[in-house]
Structure formats: C-alpha cells, structure tokens
Amino acid sequence: MEQGWRQAKGMFWAMLTAPLFWLVVFFFVPLGIVWLYSFGENRGLIDIVFTGTWSNYAHIFDLTQPYLDIFVKSLWIATLTTFFCLVLGFPVALAITFAPPKAKAWLLLLVMLPFWTNLLIRTYALMAFLRTEGYINTTYHVLFDMANAVAGGHLGTFQPMELMNTNFAVVLGLVFVNLPFMILPLYSTLDRMDRSLLEASLDLGAGHISTLFNIVVPMAGAGIVSGILITFIPALGSYLTPDMLGGPDSQMIANVIESQFKRANNWPFGAALSFILVYMTFIGIAIQGLLERKDAGRSA
C-alpha cells in the first residue's frame, strides 16, 4: 500500500512538472522582470537600470499629475460596471436556477455563448449600435420623424444622440463584456442552496420579496462576493473597451499603461502602474478569503 502511494506521488509530480515549468518560465519570470522594472530608471532610449527607486510609485500619487485622478475614475467606472452586472445578473442567475432542467442547459449555453466570440468582434458589434449612424440612432430617427409628422413639424430638426466616445458607452461596453462573469458564480451558488428554507419562509407567511432579501441573498453571499471580484478586476484593468468606445475623457488606467510602454517608452513607470493593479488584485483576493473564512466560521 505504501509502495502504491509512492508510485502515485511520483506520477503526480511527473504530471505537475510540465505545467509548473510552463507557469514559472512564461508567467512568474516575466512578471518578476516587469516588477523589477517598476523599481528601475530609464538610461537612454532602451536601457533600463534597476536602482531600487520608489520614484515611479511616488510619481503615481503625485497630486500635480493626472494619474491618481485616472485611477479614481477607473475605480469608479469599474464599480459602476460591477454594480450594474450584479443588478442585471442576479435575476438572470435566479431564473436559470429555477428553470426546468432542459431549459437550464440552453440558458447556460446562452450565457457562455459570448465567450465563443472574440472580444474585438463583440466590441465592433456594440459600436454598430452606438455610433451616430448606428441602429439606435436610426431607430430614434424613424420614431422622431413619425412624431414630428404628427406634430406638424414643430419638433424641429433631428439631432442624433451622442452615444459613442462617452463614459456611458464605456460602462455599457464593460457591462456587456463582463456580465457572464457575474452570472456564472451567482448561478453556481444559488443552484446549491437549500430550497427547503424557501418553502419554510413562504409557509410561515413571508412574501416572495421578503424571502428573496432575507433568505436567498444571504445564502448567495459567497457567489455575490466571487462575482464582484471576478467582474471588478477585469473591468478595472480593461483596455480595449475604453479605447474603442470611449473618448479622450474616458480613458482608464490600462490605456495609460499602454501609452507608457508603447508611446512614452517609459517602461519603469508603466510597470509601476501595472503593479498597482496587481497589488489591488491581491488585496481583493485577500478580502474575499477573509469574508469566506468568516462566513464558514459563522456557519460552523
């Protein structure tokens, strides 16, 4: 029996070697190099010297520079995105949970279907709706002309809605992209909840709304926290959506990082900006772990 365990342990390490090597060489090592860059300085056009300086991080929090404001704006946009994803995703996850088994499979397929399409294609599809000659303005133009004809031309000249290159377009695009990341963790938690508690609540005279907020939402706490974390972090670090849908005033921190690496050629400062996002990710994961541990202790 002991020999069998040793053989199994050897097989385990043999299977782990290749993915561990890949992870270290192609993830941790490049990430460590970028982390070292964040403590370096530019010397010439292409030379970066590791000096151990904290000036790149101090430059981020310099109130005379716009970077802290861009961070705050990025946090606000990511928070709005997460909030709207939660408000829209919770009813969808709840509906999938209580759907018939055959319909549940199709509904989950519809939620995961966007992942089968490239993000760039999905963003272009959204642009087709939001641009000045897009579907929304075209429909609005038709309705305006009909109303103007009824009013005898007193409504004036049609003015298309400015939807592109706005913060609204950025938030809408981020919700469009990240909504499945909220629905799936919520569904995973709601599908495992004890439904007898719902029946007991309704039998004792509580209404459906009261049961939803007093029974369902607390039981879905772990899924809500996971969904918020999984949605907030990609939204905060999003680059493509604000770049294509937003204007000059709608740029987020990832767009600034791109400009530091590609245009300004200031890799140390770009690395420091990047690792601020990494540090915030670690903090978010730590908070999630503490909340789950606290919830597990309360359940015990």
In eight-state DSSP terms, residue 47 is E
pLDDT at 75: 92
Specify if 216 maps to a domain.
yes
Q: Of 86, 234, 183, 69, which is closest to residue 242 (Cα–Cα)?
A: 234
Specify if 156 maps to a domain.
yes
Specify if 252 maps to a domain.
yes
Per-residue pLDDT of the chain (300 residues; tens, 9 = 90+): 445 555 567 777 777 888 888 999 998 999 999 999 999 888 766 678 888 889 999 988 887 888 889 999 999 999 999 999 999 999 999 999 988 888 888 999 999 888 888 889 999 999 999 988 888 989 988 998 888 888 887 778 888 888 888 999 999 999 999 999 999 999 999 888 877 888 788 778 777 788 888 888 888 888 898 899 899 999 998 999 999 998 888 889 999 999 998 888 889 999 999 999 888 888 878 887 787 777 666 555
pLDDT at 29: 93
Specify if 37 maps to a domain.
no
Q: Which domain holds residue 244?
A: 66-299
Specify if 61 maps to a domain.
no
Burial class from Cβ neighbours inside 10 Å (0-12, 13-18, 19+) for residue 161 reads middle
Specify if 139 maps to a domain.
yes
Specify if 28 maps to a domain.
no
pLDDT at 169: 92
Amino acid, single-letter form, for residue 246: G
In eight-state DSSP terms, residue 40 is E
Give the CATH number, domain containing residue 170: 1.10.3720.10
Specify if 285 maps to a domain.
yes
CA 21 to chain CA centroid, nearest Å: 29
Number of domains in the chain: 1
Cβ neighbours of 24 (radius 10 Å):
11
Element (H, E) at 182: helix 167-190
